[in-house]
Structure 1
């Protein structure tokens, strides 16, 4: 595509488009829609070209390359909106990824099974699991009818700091009419204070699955949501609900159940993770049993469908099956809204949720089948490699385009989070070559930069002289941006244009981090410098910030979301103009009066 057309491609933000079957088939942190990535692939390449991703994540670039053969309506709309006319047709891709779960996802999606065969096998799988465990999620309705659990809200047990009387965290915090969390509670002894001052009650329990005794926070079922022949219902938990959990723990597990130790690192918290030494401690016994039952039954299905079925089960696992599943309050709602785990962390709240795994996996079947209908039968070739991209097997100057999404410094410790799925697979991520800032791994910014540099050297080596790369990156810290900038420069690469990946819904860490930054910079990178490059408009980042502040003050008031784009936009300008990055987001916002 001509240079002016490529300029149009980077002239406005790229929507993350984190919706639809291709995205929802698997929950993966910071993932971008394959349809959005496909627009960049199609505009930078021609049919038959070779596309590379060196930080493959969930395999989005490989999926995008294949989709160019059969563009979706959304892809056509994205191109038309920008006045772009890419030549659609099959591309080929190579995707490198360190994680076992990432490459499983990439393999399945780029070699999609026949949708009808998958759908039949998946329904057969869940049916067989429910037949083996017919009473696993049994529950009685408020009227005494037999029913099935939809979800259970559990609660930590807490004790009054004055008299030691025990109650539940839910009782101290939750109020109805209207539904809200209260920040004051009065004990039977008369003591009044913040519920956060109530002490979490600990218990010593013998774990029959490890044979060891552990001390952990005591949790009890608080509210049960179910379904009977008369419809959905909810009620307060009863003794029988606690007995059902105890019964699930006492029975032997399927032989495939991974009773494996967790390798805690930067995400471990001594409070809510107390006593959680093994994978199954992150689940209720019932949910762990349900997953193990499904996992074992996969072996009875045709070999060509097993990886897709494993992915189906794991797609529900980390986001919805563990004690990290949560409730949230929504305005004017009469009851809690149940949601999944927070992306990028391993937080366990005082009100964790146990969802019915069989019901959840069954619901996922339709989403996966829809994704496979888009991807099955495409003619492009995608090679998925589990390993470090610091040593690519590709020939010199053999790649036409690179689209990649490197780890953002210390932003998300992927290997630690990936354990939730990879321990089921029997192989966890090898962390030696993981490009990350991690105190637990002994990696600071300099180690992170060195790992990035080794990868970008390889990228530069395999890129054709006229090829481009597109990088998505995010950080609120100047030191991390300098590490990226230096690693690109050392590898002989230069940033030639910048845009924004516009995420309509910011991640948990973007919203709750030290400084809110949204709109990840999207960088065009080349092996060559532009033939005609204007001198930078400012010699320092401080001058860039002040120029931007002046332009913003004369414009209409910006929304909060637009304000949080400011730092990303400034970083893009600095990288293109060669301005040293010397300021964190906090410093920029202070100058602009946004902090």
Structure 2
């Protein structure tokens, strides 16, 4: 970013002798624009000078980027030249969504350059770009994270031959044509300054040779000055260099109050394991870690200039290098003396002392005295990094930030393993600020050297902006395609986890518009859904008519899934397809938790064309408008899908889903739906062609028949899940042939969910499995035999009656007229129980309080209610 090159540089019609001159000019222009930009909702928190210092305008700003529309205008002019050169077509249109499932590993050179909470591998995004766009098109990602959409846009021009060959082969098989390689222009924005800083580096011209030379020189000079802090005695008395130090918590026996180091009583380095149970070294009481008493000690905090109480830790193990080899040793007296010297040393440069914000995750360590950012570092590493940070330019800080919130902090865990009995560094627990009972203090010199990129890249040309996804400065109808991977519910507390990074950068996330579920921010599922709706409304505004958006989804919650789909449709988008994206190697949560997802889901949706809008406006009050919509929507659906060498049914072409999409479209436009489900299905049969439970236009069905003849084996249309009863039946069909784990079931379950009735509550998948199916030792679910099923049904019925009793209590005591959200299966069980006990009054009372559609659309409930009403 501070790089000087030999030729002049032209940016937005202005010529500069060097990159430094360009940056200096636009920084001053940004300074003038800051007062107006600060009026925007979600403007980041930080001093003007810190924002300017972090930015590289006009390409990257650590605040809303005021030059986006200028670049868009320039790119639109360039399209004309590309058309003249034959590199793009003026008549380019995309009718069908990208409907194939994608499997793409994370082991590529860009993905591993820098850590972040979530990322999509850029080759996966490239598949969508090749399908939905052509060279010169403008791509947008409003939840850009580390900017992988920008990397993908540039790599459509610069991909290596191996990747081009692989993606080209896939494209030719799917489209019977060659992909149109060439650069797409990306606009990347995110609420988090930490994310946009990483994105700006990944989407820049990065000369690793220069960075390596510069940062190594600074590291070596600083290490020479501070190497005394990283030295330990070898067995022969010579000095070795510390690679890392393991620290262990000091606790006390709850019986005799004797203090001991957990490592000393738990670590078995001969077999490589931590004992779950152990005896108190003093009184021999049998203990485990949870039963031990936490010890807080008083110490003076230089940063806060006061005495604080913090959890007691002691160093226990050192790994060091000496005479060309690596060794382990227990802490000796000289090591302890060195630690005392380090603790008494002064931090001579400014260190980040920021108080962690209120939050679900960020305050987890308060009770242990870790309340401020600097307390997440050992004194040794704080001294080293605070002095180094002041010397680094932006490209060098990119290297430093890759360790600042993870491996260099006390979040860095140490574990014992059978094959590595002395143990190994295990990294922080993903998505948390958890400090374990054993943490690792690593040598920052070694860490930083290992994080210097191994290659250079030039992804320059993309724009990066720091702003809320709800508040883009982009003009209406400007974007050709959107790929976005938004936060989903309470999965990750981004602003809390980014706080350590941002304390070093000096610019913080303004989380008022952060689209997450978070109790500290008073954001429920409903609030999250409203925030996502606001984001999608702005996405809809900036996307050109007739263009597409791809939304990646990763969450196990049916409520969040339904909320996302509803938000998309309420914003005006029409959902066309849902497919899977398998990133192969999940993060720590997806590898260890039984309810974590292996595959993300991908929603393809489109903004109706201007031509259709005009046509629909003329017929919206008549039945003609219905079939205008259906014809438009059918044209945007996949025609033929192949899975496992067989033609597979397309759920979006089923009459139920077509009707659901129609209703959503009319509701979004505040119009009454002028047709019922029965007449709709009759109209479908009269106007369109049915095949295998799906509907096609005359042109489409010819293509479908031809391709099905090539793949005659057919996978039937799955049961759609719109109630708990549907869900149980769907699972029985799925598990009747194979036993499957939760992780195998969950992606298919999410795709089967289809328009739950208003007021009905479908339990989470994990609960339905628990109540209706059995699980073997391998964690695979299967359909129970008759005897076990009867036992499960008894237990399930007890749970349902307990839930029904809660509804009864709520109905009796609540002043509200209606019970808004009800589990229908609990009502069925309760109504049946009351009927058998001739308690007709309760049936009527509850029936009058539940949403009318639930009562009228459920034959069982209505039958009990009618009978009870006649007998009260």
User: Is TM > 0.5 for Structure 1 vs Structure 2?
Assistant: yes
C-alpha distance 491-235 of structure 1, shift in aligned 2 (>3 A): same
- Residue in 1 that maps onto 2:470: 390
Conserved? CA contact 2:364–2:434, under 8 Å:
no
Q: Of residues 578, 583, 588 in structure 2, which corresponds to 1:508?
A: 588
Shift in Å, 1:490: 1.2
Q: Of residues 217, 222, 241 in structure 1, which corresponds to 2:316?
A: 222
Aligned equivalents of 1:406 and 1:509: distance in 2?
18
What is the 5 A alignment of 1:241-252? 241-252=335-346
Structure 2: runs of 5 or more not aligned: 1-91, 609-631, 636-652, 657-718, 776-780, 782-872
Task: Tell me which of the two structures has the higher relative contact order, counting C-alpha pairs closer than 8 angstroms and 6 or more residues apart.
Answer: 1
Aligned equivalents of 1:36 and 1:539: distance in 2?
29
Conserved? CA contact 2:489–2:516, under 8 Å:
yes
Conserved? CA contact 1:142–1:235, under 8 Å:
no
Shift in Å, 1:472: 1.2
C-alpha distance 441-178 of structure 1, shift in aligned 2 (>3 A): same
Aligned equivalents of 2:290 and 2:180: distance in 1?
59
- Residue in 1 that maps onto 2:296: 202
Three-state SS of the structure 2 residue aligned to 1:225 is strand
- Residue in 2 that maps onto 1:62: 150
Q: Of residues 339, 345, 351 in structure 1, which corresponds to 2:432?
A: 345
Three-state SS of the structure 2 residue aligned to 1:11 is coil
Aligned equivalents of 1:266 and 1:28: distance in 2?
19
**Would you say 1:25 and 2:92 are equivalent positions?**
no
- Residue in 2 that maps onto 1:169: 262
Three-state SS of the structure 1 residue aligned to 2:276 is coil
Aligned equivalents of 1:321 and 1:486: distance in 2?
42
- Residue in 2 that maps onto 1:320: 407
Q: Of residues 232, 244, 254 in structure 2, which corresponds to 1:139?
A: 232
Three-state SS of the structure 2 residue aligned to 1:498 is strand
Q: Of residues 476, 490, 500 in structure 2, which corresponds to 1:410?
A: 490
Shift in Å, 1:578: 8.2
C-alpha distance 516-117 of structure 1, shift in aligned 2 (>3 A): closer
| 1:476-524 Cα deviation digits (max 9, x unpaired) | 2222223212211110113211122213333334455583333121111
- Residue in 2 that maps onto 1:457: 537
Conserved? CA contact 2:365–2:371, under 8 Å:
no
- Residue in 2 that maps onto 1:303: none
Aligned equivalents of 1:588 and 1:126: distance in 2?
56
User: Which piece of structure 1 moves more, 582-591 or 130-139?
Assistant: 582-591
C-alpha distance 46-447 of structure 1, shift in aligned 2 (>3 A): same
Q: Of residues 147, 152, 159 in structure 1, which corresponds to 2:252?
A: 159
Conserved? CA contact 1:39–1:75, under 8 Å:
no
Aligned equivalents of 1:190 and 1:288: distance in 2?
39
Shift in Å, 1:114: 2.3
From the CA coordinates, give the structure whose radius of gyration is larger. Answer: 2
- Residue in 2 that maps onto 1:545: 727
Three-state SS of the structure 2 residue aligned to 1:497 is strand
**Would you say 1:582 and 2:702 are equivalent positions?**
no
Q: Of residues 180, 192, 204 in structure 1, which corresponds to 2:273?
A: 180
Aligned equivalents of 1:217 and 1:448: distance in 2?
35
Aligned equivalents of 2:132 and 2:339: distance in 1?
55
- Residue in 2 that maps onto 1:150: 243
Three-state SS of the structure 2 residue aligned to 1:545 is helix
TM-score by length of 2: 0.63
Conserved? CA contact 1:151–1:354, under 8 Å:
yes
Aligned equivalents of 2:590 and 2:497: distance in 1?
18
TM-score by length of 1: 0.90
Aligned equivalents of 2:369 and 2:606: distance in 1?
50
Aligned equivalents of 1:547 and 1:48: distance in 2?
49
Shift in Å, 1:385: 0.6
**Would you say 1:237 and 2:350 are equivalent positions?**
no
**Would you say 1:535 and 2:638 are equivalent positions?**
no
* Runs of 4+ with >6 A deviation: 1-4, 577-581
C-alpha distance 269-182 of structure 1, shift in aligned 2 (>3 A): farther
C-alpha distance 555-503 of structure 1, shift in aligned 2 (>3 A): farther
- Residue in 1 that maps onto 2:58: none
C-alpha distance 261-502 of structure 1, shift in aligned 2 (>3 A): same
- Residue in 1 that maps onto 2:750: 571
Shift in Å, 1:195: 3.3
Conserved? CA contact 2:273–2:418, under 8 Å:
no
Three-state SS of the structure 1 residue aligned to 2:602 is strand
Aligned equivalents of 2:403 and 2:365: distance in 1?
26
Aligned equivalents of 1:354 and 1:272: distance in 2?
21
Shift in Å, 1:192: 1.9
Three-state SS of the structure 1 residue aligned to 2:406 is helix
- Residue in 2 that maps onto 1:490: 570
- Residue in 2 that maps onto 1:77: 166
C-alpha distance 94-544 of structure 1, shift in aligned 2 (>3 A): farther
The CA RMSD measured in Å over matched residues stands at 2.4
Shift in Å, 1:274: 1.0
User: Which piece of structure 1 moves more, 565-574 or 317-326?
Assistant: 565-574
**Would you say 1:42 and 2:130 are equivalent positions?**
yes
Aligned equivalents of 2:726 and 2:241: distance in 1?
60
Shift in Å, 1:2: 8.0
Conserved? CA contact 2:250–2:261, under 8 Å:
yes
Aligned equivalents of 2:391 and 2:343: distance in 1?
20
C-alpha distance 65-547 of structure 1, shift in aligned 2 (>3 A): farther
Shift in Å, 1:357: 0.8
User: Which piece of structure 1 moves more, 176-185 or 241-250?
Assistant: 241-250
Conserved? CA contact 1:248–1:289, under 8 Å:
no
- Residue in 1 that maps onto 2:375: 281
Shift in Å, 1:317: 1.4
Aligned length: 574
Three-state SS of the structure 2 residue aligned to 1:133 is helix
Q: Of residues 91, 97, 106 in structure 1, which corresponds to 2:199?
A: 106
**Would you say 1:213 and 2:307 are equivalent positions?**
yes
Shift in Å, 1:3: 6.3
- Residue in 1 that maps onto 2:28: none
| 1:175-202 Cα deviation digits (max 9, x unpaired) | 1331112122112322222232121222
| 1:133-168 Cα deviation digits (max 9, x unpaired) | 232311222332201111111000011222222111
Conserved? CA contact 1:410–1:438, under 8 Å:
yes
| 1:279-308 Cα deviation digits (max 9, x unpaired) | 11111111112211220221xxxxxxx211
Aligned equivalents of 1:255 and 1:90: distance in 2?
43
Aligned equivalents of 1:287 and 1:388: distance in 2?
34
